[in-house]
Structure 1
Amino acid sequence: MIDLLVAGGGPAGLVTAAHAARAGLQVVVVEQRRGPIDKACGEGLMPHSLAHLDRLGVDLAGHPHRNFYGIRYLDGRRTAEARFAGGPGRGVRRTVLHDALSKAVADAGVQVVSGEVGAVIQDQTCVRAAGLRARYLAAADGLHSPIRRSLGLAAEEPKRRRWGIRRHVQIAPWSDCVEVHWGASPAAGEAYVTPVADDCVGVAILTSTRGGFEEHLRQFPALQDRLNGVPHGQDRAAGPLRQKVRHRAAGRVLLVGDAAGYVDALTGEGLGLAFGAAEVLVDCVATDRTADYDRRWRALTRRYRLLTAGLLHATGIPPVRAAITPASAALPTVFTRVVNALGE
């Protein structure tokens, strides 16, 4: 019987497996998709996320990437900028990150099995899934986690829904920050521009209305003018983004990554929180204190959840939304503190 079965071979699952191997646990990852795995996301690794990968020995050197040094808000009239206090972040395409994480778990001796997880059956001593038997299972099966749903851990979906759509554009980055372009209305959403290579940026649009990339891009005229006619890659979409969860554990099954619940991509902290939660999960398994996992997950993510939920609520109120960039520009010290607080 293995110690930990990880259901899902995305970043959250692979980092969980890497931590488990470092803790001396016998771990197996099950993933049905063939790598490298792509996903609609902003692809910006904040400074604390990079530090976490460095501690795991995940090497991004030699891969295409681009450092960024802060966050810049733009609303068509005003600009506000906050620089990171703890070093740069890094724009890394999701496929590049997946390759680097896959190499790290392979180097750690972790077995990755290609196949479906299927039904999860557990008793007081073990969990059975994918034809394997383990002491515990880490469900890292994504935003719309089938395991979360099958265990009755999913809460009622919120009334306000948001979706994301991402495109890679073959153009040299024009900023050393991640740019956040604010649309005029809540329905217009926000466009995130992340430098991911010397000749490429990722543009991710978050919006409360569904539709194609070009349709949403029209809500950001200055950005549309810059990108008009530039070669680009395939569009990828995801959503609804908000996923509420009743609890992060059921018996011997623990949820991690997006499966454990998601507020919004508004602050770009998803990967950093997934990496931190993976470390907490493995510690709970290694010490046989999995009953503490939900409490520790909540403590780890509390600041992010409060700040992100508060900002998300504000973006839905037109007068408040219109004041976000002007207020950030008028109070640069406060804006910088908020940005760095999310990255701690």
Structure 2
Amino acid sequence: MTGPGDVAGDLDADVLVVGAGPVGLAAAVHARAAGLDVLVVDRRTGTLDKACGEGLLPGALRAVQALGADPPGQPLAGISYRAPGRHADHRFAAGPGRGVRRTALHEALSKRAADVGAQLFHGRVTGLRQDAGGVEVEMVPGGATGQGRAPMTLRAAWVLGCDGLHSTVRRLAGLDAVPGRRAGRPADGRYGLRRHFEVSPWTDLVEVHWSPHAEAYVTPVGPDTVGVALLGPRSVSGAGFDTLLRTQFPELSARLATATAASSLLGAGPLRQRSRRRSAGRVRLVGDASGYVDALTGEGVRVGLAQAEAAVRHLEDAGAYERAWRTATRDYRALTTGLLAWASSPLRGAVVPAAARAPWLYGAVVERLAR
């Protein structure tokens, strides 16, 4: 087999991580700490961005710092649920989180992964074969721009699929779930749109604005920048960012009317993704690739980082990883599924009033998310 780096026996790496987002880079750092040779493969180059809310809740911030990275950003003191005339605020009991541009998070984790000796290779995965001793991964060097380049094969003892919602590894490993309707899952799926604005943050809270058909997440990510992520069904988000902001969130739209856009528009979806299981032979699915409910509770990074640590710790025991995965994602899956079912029902308009009437319950939920 041929590939970059030194070959130990017939292996190009002990662990091949597909996907250089935060979860993949965290998995690479954990694998290097375990003394394993690591190769990270991604079809994209440069600093990676993603349509997301960009709020690191306190637990997620601690997990990033425990990896040896400390990205710059804006302190986040809590979460505010808001609707016209009503709001419910809760400040984190254990200290602030941080609003961090996804590009800044990627740069910090990418540098950390490189510092500990993980290698990065630019390529697009096209095939996957397994045997008792390892996994052969077919790819085209150069990723999406690799037209005309000769395919190559890398061999690793283990493959971690950290390649996001529409995971190629999940599909190639035969782990895609059969599509079907699930309770709390809107018929046309949910999608996200995100853009930044040049404006001084007017609060140190993450604001979640609720409209009849969508949510807007406003996250301070710098002294003069806020990120706005809009979530809703395809039928709503398909109207476009500006139209959705103006029609669904007029108060927020008016506040941003004179602000200059500070980034290009990015989108993601459908958000709901399922996998049959998290392992197939020597392949493990990690992060969004392993299954995702929704961005409604803002826990994606924390949950993904916990999965990355568990995947490396249980490389040789698929059953143990499955159990650790369920433990790491249990609260996220239960809370997000429940809130999504509520938000998708005729009782959607009661979400913010209920939080305002029961601040103790709202605070308990926020603290659960923030751990």
> Normalised by the shorter chain, which TM-score bucket?
over 0.9
Residues 3-44 of structure 1: CA distance to partner in whole angstroms, max 9, x if unpaired? 211011111110100111111111110112112001100011
1:92 corresponding residue in structure 2: 100
Find runs of 4+ consecutive structure 1 residues off by over 4 angstroms. none
> What TM-score results when the alignment is normalised by the length of structure 1?
0.95
Q: CA deviation at 1:244?
A: 1.4
Give the C-alpha shift of residue 317 in structure 1.
Answer: 1.3
In structure 1, the residue corresponding to 2:126 is in which secondary structure? coil
Compute the displacement of 1:120 (Å): 1.0
Conserved in 2, the CA contact under 8 Å of 1:163 and 1:238? yes
Shift of 1:157: 5.0
Residue 304 in structure 1 maps to residue 332 in structure 2: yes
Q: Which has the higher strand share?
A: 2
Q: Distance in 1 between matches of 2:97 and 2:84?
A: 25
Cα distance in 2 between the residues matched to 1:80 and 1:59: 30
Mapped pair 1:263 → 2:287: no
Per-residue deviation, 1:59: 2.5
- CA offset digits 1:171-206 (Å, max 9, x no partner): 0000110000000x2xx2100000000000000000
2:76 maps to amino acid: F
What residue is the counterpart of 1:196 in the other structure? 221
User: What residue in structure 1 maps to residue 82 of structure 2?
Assistant: 74
In structure 2, runs of 5+ residues without a counterpart are 1-10, 140-152, 182-186
Amino acid at match of 1:203: V
CA contact under 8 A between 1:35 and 1:98: conserved in structure 2?
no
Q: 2:71 aligned with 1:49, yes or no?
A: no
Q: CA deviation at 1:117?
A: 2.2
CA distance in 2, matches of 1:220, 1:86: 31
- Give 5+ residue unaligned stretches, structure 1: none
The 5 Å alignment of 1:212-251 reads 212-218=240-246, 219-232=248-261, 233-251=263-281
* CA distance in 2 between partners of 1:282 and 1:67 (Å): 31
Equivalent in the alignment of 2:30: 19
Partner of 1:334: 361
Mapped pair 1:172 → 2:200:
yes
Partner letter of residue 154 of structure 2?
A: L
1:119 matched to 2:127 = yes
SS at match of 1:240: coil
TM-score (norm 2): 0.88
> Could you tell me how far 1:295 is from its partner in structure 2?
2.0
Looking at structure 2, the residues matched to 87 and 136 of structure 1 have their Cα atoms a distance apart, in angstroms, of 38
Contact 1:58 1:101 in 2 (8 A): yes
Q: Is the Cα contact below 8 Å between 1:67 and 1:91 reproduced in 2? A: yes
**Two-structure CA RMSD over aligned residues (Å):** 1.1
- Mapped partners of 2:215, 2:360: distance in 1: 23
Q: Secondary structure, in 3 states, of the residue corresponding to 1:54? A: helix
Deviation at 1:160, TM superposition (A): 4.5
Question: Does structure 1 retain, via aligned residues, the 8 Å contact 2:18–2:161?
Answer: yes
SS at match of 2:160: strand
